[in-house]
Each structure stands twice: as structure tokens, then as C-alpha cells.
Amino acid sequence: MRTPKRIQPLVDDGLVDEVIRPLTSGKEADVFVVLCGEEIRCAKVYKEASKRGFKHAAQYQEGRNVQNTRLARAMKKGSTFGRGQREEVWQNTEVDALRKLHRVGVRVPKPYGCYEGVLLMELISDMEGNVAPQLGSVAFTPERARTDHALMMRYMARMLCAGLVHGDLSEFNVLVDEEGPVIIDLPQVINASANNNAERFFARDVGNITAYYGQYAPELLPKRYAGEMWSLFEVGELQPETELTGVYRESTGFADVDALLDELEAIELEELERLERSGE
């Protein structure tokens, strides 16, 4: 096929030999299957901020630190240079997260680098060499649902121990190959300690994943893994291999009604956005 304009520099530099075909096109990026030497990989071409459909991006970016104070000031002012730097930070956030999670034992696509807004990474495929399906298109036996759900809870605990929350995790950004689930799409990844929205997004991530597997193993639905993990994380007791039970009892006290209403409204808006992405 004809090489997309954004990938052509990678071809010129010898990083990509051939663009084989488009893979997916989303609100955030277009993904292509590419040939790099003898390996089949994928190239994720990020869309410009003005063309992205990712809403409430500021909530995700809270707590992201830029060491260079000049760059931080430019980004805050919103100058042309600053907007360009903000885009670079957004794009590099995913490759940095992939590298970090790969090191701590979370199954994610192996990243090879981000070049001028194009992320080269591993193509997750099935035993026949086809692109692995999304979790949302896979049916499970109760036993397999329990096994894969436990694995996903383990991955999410490891992410949290590494200081990261996916922030947009659902059955639409998990792939499934013969070894189990693989987490994808991390440009919006959240700093678990520095972002005031982190706990809320973490609870939503865990809830989405549990709800999907719970269709096949209903006994998972009442479990409270999000509360269990977050409470351990807050007091520094969550470890990558902590034995999770799904049992958690919230502390009793007076509820902040206004905060609760704000939270419910935010959750409702996020659910509407999720349904819009899924076409439901």
C-alpha cells in the first residue's frame, strides 16, 4: 500500500521497510501493520490534538512533571512551541509507560521507540499470526474467565506498584492471545500519586474489567478489588505479588454528599463516552 505521509520519514531512515496494511483507526491514532527487517510490527500514528477525540485530557495529564522549567512554562502558556512540547510529552508518555510496565511484568506490547509522533511496537497476534482479538469479542468458560480476571488484577496491582493507572481500561483496549490478556493504549496513563483523579480512574478500570469477566463468572461481580488494592497502596503495603482476595470494607463515616454527587455525575459522563466508543 502507499506509505502514509507520517510514516515516510521512518522508511527514509530505515526503521520501517514497508507498510503492509491499516490495522485500526481511532479517535486518538491510526495504527498500521509494518515490516521492519524480518519482523512484523505495528506503527501507531498519533493524531494532532485538534483532531483527537480524547475528552477531558487535562484530568489525565495532572501530575505529569516536566523537568525543564523553560518547557514547562511554554506548555503552561500554550504558545505554539508549548503546544508542540505538550504533544511530544503526550506521545512519549505511552512509550515510557510501556517500557516501565514491560520491566515490572505487566503484559503490554513491547515498544521499540517513538519517532516524530509514530510509535513502533510489537504486534500482538494469535497462533495463526493474525492480529489478536479485543477482549470484548472473546467469550470465556467460567474457569478461563476466573483465571484471566485474576491475571488482570495482578497486572493492575503491578501497575499501581509502579505508580501508574491506565485510566481508560476496558474490554476495548485489552487484546487476548494464547497466553492471555495484553493491555494496550496507554497515552493517557495517570500518575497514581500525583493525580487527584487517580483513585476514581483506578476504580473505574477495575470495575470495567470485572464487569466483563463477570458475565462468564458472576461470582466475580461483588468482589471489591479496587478498594482492596487502593487501600493497600495508600499505606505502602501493596506489593507486585500481594495475594488479593477481593474483600474490602470501607471505613464508616459521614459522607461528603456534594463530592459524592460530583463523582456520580463524572462516572455517568465517562460511561456515556465508553458506550459511544463501543457503538452501543
State the catalytic residues.
168, 185
Burial class (CB in 10 A: 0-12, 13-18, 19+), 133: middle
Q: Which amino acid is at 254?
A: F
Nearest CA-CA partner of 192 in 218, 233, 163: 163
Q: Cα–Cα distance between 220 and 263 in angstroms, integer?
A: 24
Asked if 36 contacts 17 with a C-beta cutoff of 8 angstroms, the reply is yes
Q: Are 175 and 185 in contact (CB under 8 A)?
A: no
Q: Which of 7, 78, 76 is nearest to 41 (CA)?
A: 7
Cell of 55: 475528552
Contact 101, 162 (CB under 8 A): yes
Range 19-31 burial, b when 16+ CB lie within 10 A, else e: beeeeeebebbbb
Rounded to an integer, what distance in angstroms lies between the CA atom of residue 150 and that of residue 134? Answer: 18
